Amino acid sequence: MMAKKDQVAKHKQVEKTLEAELNFLWRVIDTSPNFIFVRDRDGKFLMANEAMAQAYGTTVEDITGKTDADFNPNPEEVERFLSDDREVMNSLKQKALLERSITDADGAVRWLEIIKFPLVDEDGVSRRVLGIANDITDQVLVKIDLQQLSRAVEATHDAIVITDLNGNIQFVNPAFSKITGYSLAEALGRNTNILKSGRQSSNTYKEMWKAITSGQVWQGDVTNKRKDNSLYEAQLTISPIRNTAGKIEQFVAIQRDITERKRAEEELQRLRSAVEQAGDGIAVANLEGNILFANLAWAEMHGYSVEEIQGQHLSMFHTKEQIQQEVEQFNAVVMQTGTNSGRVGHAHKNGTTFPTQMTTTLLLDASGTPTGLVGTARDITEQVRLEQQIRETLERRNRQVQLTTEISQEITGTPSLAEIYNYVVTSVKEGFGYYHVQIFRHNPEKNTMVVIEGYGAAGKKMIAAKHNLPFGKGVVGTAAATGEPVLASNVGDDPNWVPHPDLPDTKGELAIPIKWQNEVIGILDVQHDEANALTEEDQVVLLGLAGQIASAVESARLFEESQNRVRREQTLREITSRLRNFTDPDAVIRAAVRDLSKNLDRPTFIRLGSAEELSSQPEE
């Protein structure tokens, strides 16, 4: 009996010991950071430690008897877990799952390294599986980052070089080989000075090494040399690499080949310089008409600074009328055909308007889609003024030529000199729009130029006063003496020129010789009340007219002489016929004197005496 009691006590002691050991074991299991669990063939948790329960956001008591599906929102993961469990139980072999994802209670993906063991019953069948999982999320994320970094380094177009503290190459990516021509095998172990071109000063490298050895990042543009000795421009960034103790143990350099960019920048700078120095205004705008760029010539043409117009709308350079009447139609052609050129009115900041010669072209991207507009404009105010002046001059010249032709036709055949002079003076004054017109003739006895015809009241007054000018002096006298036209476009430039009191507004004068067979027979004098209004064109036209005047004057003179000759001959015949009827000599003489004076239109005297007396000079 006593032996039985001892056996029971001993058994209870064993149970107590086992319970204590089991409790200790569970405490160890619960304090483990690893996920520890036991599941049956249906995936139910028969046992799970605290780490496993917390991963699913629950408690050990709650997870027991439930499956992954009750906590994991990812059905693919749940199915994969169950499949792995059954494979282990069926094969009776443990299985290591190096990377398995699990979605936790917060919906975040965690990575596990799992080992599953089959738990075999006495009948040799496994109906449960023991799983021990290590959370390797941090390692996996680092691995992913490294993989991504490696792919980025391999794929980047920038050359990446890692060196030791002496600049000896330890790593290069494929872009380095592509840019420099050195393969990985050729570059490893060599110093980075293989890339030196000799174009950089020693100070550049001193500053570089000083910066990176002191833990700073160095950046700059350098000219490097390829394996084939050709040069390239590089944008270089060098950074120090520190170990966990903070000590610099390596350098990483990233260099970008900017040869084409540098060339483009230089070309752009040349282009920008050319645009800025261009005399024509140049502006670039988007399709909405907002200014993206304008050169100084464009801004100054409109009275603005470049800063004032940046971002403004192109409509600021036109009045509403210009936009409606010119700009809208002009731009419509640009949008239809891609370009247009023509005259377009512009407006200045001060409100004045001016004409321009515009050329506008659509800007297209690589696909041919319009992206903006570029326009050039040239202020053609002076050109338009000159064109208008030329048109007016041509019209005036045509009128003058036509008027000259009409005057020539009218005076041709006119027998009266007085009528010729009067018609010429009147027609030239009124037809050409001069201030005053007059004609002078030379008086050899006094050696002066006497006005014989003048326009209007002033002309009549000067004729009545026998107005005359000295031969060989002044505008009229010089033209008479030289036989050449004299043009004084602005008489104010001649301090010796004195205006006639009846012509106070004279500002310009032109004297044209009227010549017949190289003999000056008169001067056509025209005057203008505007300085510089008389030009060489007036001189050319009036020279042509002067020739026609001379021809008409000579014809009238010859006609007048022939008429006088006929009258004289008729008078002599009449006197001879009458003398036959007179017997008184005195009566004969008186009749002859009377008839001769009447027909010759001048006083006539008859001198009587012997031949000897008549041959001597009469006494005064």
pLDDT digits (tens, 9 = 90+) for 424-468: 999 899 988 999 999 999 999 999 999 999 999 999 999 999 999
Domains and CATH numbers, the chain: 16-136 (3.30.450.20), 156-263 (3.30.450.20), 278-379 (3.30.450.20), 389-560 (3.30.450.40), 582-615 (no CATH)
615 confidence band (pLDDT: 50, 70, 90): low
Average pLDDT over the chain reads 86
First vs last Cα of the chain: how many Å apart? 214
- DSSP classification of residue 313: B
Condensed to tens digits (0 to 9), the pLDDT of residues 260-318 reads 888 877 876 777 776 777 778 889 999 999 999 888 899 999 999 999 999 999 999 99
Top pLDDT among 185 and 593 is at 185
pLDDT at residue 8, rounded to an integer: 64
Q: Worst-scoring range by mean pLDDT, 22-26, 125-129, 382-386?
A: 22-26
| Dihedral sign from CA coordinates of 260, 265, 266, 268 | positive
No. of helices (H) and no. of strands (E), the chain:
20, 21
Top pLDDT among 533 and 269 is at 533
pLDDT at residue 620, rounded to an integer: 46
pLDDT at residue 393, rounded to an integer: 77
479 pLDDT more than 90? yes
374 pLDDT more than 80? yes
Write the CB contacts of 357 (distance below 8 Å, at least 6 apart in sequence): 341, 342, 343, 377, 378, 380
**Coil vs helix vs strand at 354:** strand
Q: How many CB atoms lie within 10 A of CB 110?
A: 18
User: From the centroid of its chain, how far is CA 15?
Assistant: 100
Per the CB < 8 A criterion, the answer to whether 235 and 255 are in contact is yes
Q: How many CB atoms lie within 10 A of CB 614?
A: 10
Share of the chain above pLDDT 90, in %: 54
User: Which strands form 169-172's sheet, in the order they lie side by side?
Assistant: 169-172, 159-163, 248-257, 231-242, 218-225
Residue labelled with tokens 């039985």: 4
18 pLDDT more than 80? no
Phi and psi torsions of 44, nearest 5°: -75, 140
Q: Diameter of the chain by CA atoms? A: 231
Alpha-carbon distances, residue 617 vs 383, 593, 611, 620 (angstroms): 76, 21, 12, 9
**Coil vs helix vs strand at 258:** coil
Helices 417-432 and 536-579, packing angle to 10 deg: 160
Task: Tell me the average pLDDT across 382-405.
Answer: 82
353 pLDDT more than 80? yes
- DSSP classification of residue 618: P
User: Which strands form 486-488's sheet, in the order they lie side by side?
Assistant: 468-470, 448-454, 436-443, 519-528, 508-516, 486-488
Condensed to tens digits (0 to 9), the pLDDT of residues 154-168 reads 878 899 999 999 999
372 pLDDT more than 80? yes
User: Are β-strands 370-379 and 448-454 bridged in parallel, bridged antiparallel, or unpaired?
Assistant: unpaired
pLDDT at residue 608, rounded to an integer: 52
Top pLDDT among 247 and 29 is at 247
**pTM > 0.75:** no
